[in-house]
Amino acid sequence: MQWQNLISGCFISWLAMSHQIETYRILAIFPTPSISHQVVFRPVMQELATRGHHITLLTPNPFEATENITIIDLNHLYEDWKKIDFAETADLNPFAMIELLLTVMRGMMTKILEIDEVKPILHGNVEKFDVVISEFLGYTPMYAFAHLYNVPLIGMTSLDMSPSEHASIGNLVHPILHPHLIFPFYGDLNFFERVASVYMSWIMDNIFTPMFGRKLDQVIFKYFGDSYPNSYELTRSVSLAIVNAHPALGFTRPIVPTTIQVGLLHIQPPKPLPSDIDSYMSKSKHGVIYFSLGSNVKSSCLKKNHFDTFLGVFKELEYDIIWKFENETMQNKPNNVMIRKWLPQQDLLAHPNLKLFITHGGQQSMEEAIDRGIPLLCIPFFGDQETNSKKIEHLGIGRRLLLADLNPINFKALVHEVINHAKYKQKIIELRDVVKDSPLSPKDMAAWWIEYTIRHNGTRHLRYPGLGFPNWKYYFVDVIIFTITILSIFCVLIFISIRKLLKYCKFIKKDEKKIKVK
């Protein structure tokens, strides 16, 4: 293993020495005020800074910057994000959820462009950038900065791209093979799921996406000018998409060369746990269960019946529980439950006495569990979480439990099943080995492709030639019409010929009769 790491390190160093002749100025914009999104982008920005590039970073989660990173704080965007009660969103249909999120996002875009530190960038009163990297999640006013500075646009995601983003770069989009990530469909869809996915995708593509695009166009034209491309055109101008979606985790589809699938971008080597948590886990007689609903869903805000179910079952279990809980105290907390407002999740998942991770099904939590080899019990709430929960079952690395089916009997049975059946542990370790079998780390791969895009001033030479192809050409409509026309003419000619032939035969027959009579 040591010699493999040495070879990998030498290879990366050789790449850096071979290609990095100059350093670049990068404008990076990651607006989503959720730490689960931001932790994916941060390692790539830090890696680029380590390579000598100068980064102006807009983020709602500022960190201690190096000399090559200038941070513009967007923390005030959390005020908008907190208006969404994510514990209640499980009751919303996908379209209502999208409308809620997109409305908040539009307000966030306006706030960003009004920040004093952003105005010099908006007015072009700073040194020229070499590339713009933006979170590729519908934040189209941020894409306009690439047009302003006439530089390549690179999109980055903390999860898989939506169908509209996939289509914008030329990847295969299919409502049955690849349903929208927020639709509750995955795998081999039954007839009714196929019908629902097709109809819902049509509504999304032809009503919601254009409608929201027009609202964002108003922001673009207000702050950048009426002559700027609209949201649709800016989305299609992306040179490269770096997608945090490893194919082995269920994100397999035909993709074009300008889509770079990496996955596990935010994973770090485990560090020692705080002494109190390490002692609690090490002393546990039967092992520990970790329960966290992520950074958006607050378990302290759960509905009473859900909260009571969790609390009651935990009290009956022989295992010790570590619960990420947002309040200082918990009423009627069982003796086998430890609560903390924040926990070093990656480090905790690496503890050898951890038996199970009960999660909401966020992609980053799923990736961390895979990297640490911990089986999962997924209870999804919103967004891509239900799809992820189905992937977890499909991959054989855990089980899923919908909130609608949550009761003490089901919950307790699934906890025991995942812990006591070795197949889940075995499957997740096998998957971990597959995902980690790569010549480059995810952040090194992402950094290399960013430098590649800057060096060549975009990726026009890799651009899919079918991108922007009109549907009537893509689906051979003109060829089909031409073929039908020719066949129709041929059939008409045959019909006329047969009709005339029959008439002629009839005439000959009549003529023969006349001759016989005479």
Domain map of the chain by residue range?
A: 22-261, 275-436
Q: Among 18-22, 368-372, 439-443, 449-453, name the one with the lowest average pLDDT.
A: 18-22
Question: 22-261 and 275-436 share one CATH topology?
Answer: yes
At residue 67, does pLDDT exceed 60?
yes
Residues 36-47 pLDDT 10s: 999 999 999 999
Alpha carbon 464 to chain centroid, angstroms: 21
Choosing among 2.40.40.20, 3.40.50.2000, 3.40.50.300, 2.40.10.170, the CATH entry for 275-436 is 3.40.50.2000
Structure confidence at residue 514 (pLDDT)? 61
| DSSP states of 471-518 | HHHHTTHHHHHHHHHHHHHHHHHHHHHHHHHHHHHHHHHHHHHHHHH-
Provide the angle, in degrees to the nearest 10, between the axes of the packed helices 140-149 and 94-113: 40
**Which strands make up the sheet holding 69-73, listed edge to edge?**
69-73, 54-59, 25-29, 131-135, 153-157, 240-243, 259-261
Confidence of residue 509 (pLDDT cuts 50, 70, 90): low
Provide the angle, in degrees to the nearest 10, between the axes of the packed helices 442-455 and 2-19: 10
CA dist., res. 109 & res. 363, Å (int): 24
At residue 17, does pLDDT exceed 70?
no
Structure confidence at residue 495 (pLDDT)? 92
At residue 6, does pLDDT exceed 50?
no
CA dist., res. 110 & res. 102, Å (int): 13
Residues 453-469 pLDDT 10s: 999 999 999 999 988 78
Angle, vertex CA 108, rays to CA 103 and CA 110, nearest 5: 105
CB 442 within 8 A of CB 381: no
CA dist., res. 69 & res. 49, Å (int): 7
At residue 95, does pLDDT exceed 90?
no
CA distance readout (Å), 297 to 98, 420, 505: 17, 28, 85
Q: Is 55 left (phi over 0), alpha (psi -120 to 50) or beta?
A: beta
Mean pLDDT of 124-147: 95
CB 76 within 8 A of CB 115: no
At residue 425, does pLDDT exceed 80?
yes
CB 36 within 8 A of CB 296: yes
Sign (positive or negative) of CA dihedral 454, 458, 461, 463 = positive
Alpha carbon 264 to chain centroid, angstroms: 12
**Residue from 379, 458, 397, 438 nearest 150 by CA:** 458
Determine the residue type at 29: I
SS3 55: strand
CA dist., res. 400 & res. 376, Å (int): 8
User: Would you state the CATH architecture of domain 22-261?
Assistant: 3-Layer(aba) Sandwich (3.40)
Question: Which residue bears the tokens 């047009």?
Answer: 147
- Residues ≥6 apart with Cβ < 8 Å to 199: none
Structure confidence at residue 64 (pLDDT)? 83
How many Cβ atoms from other residues are within 10 Å of residue 189's Cβ?
Answer: 17
How many Cβ atoms from other residues are within 10 Å of residue 294's Cβ?
Answer: 21
468 or 353, greater pLDDT: 353
What mean pLDDT, rounded, does the chain reach? Answer: 90
Strands 153-157 and 131-135: parallel
Give me the percent of the chain exceeding a pLDDT of 90. Answer: 74
SS3 195: helix
How many Cβ atoms from other residues are within 10 Å of residue 68's Cβ?
Answer: 17
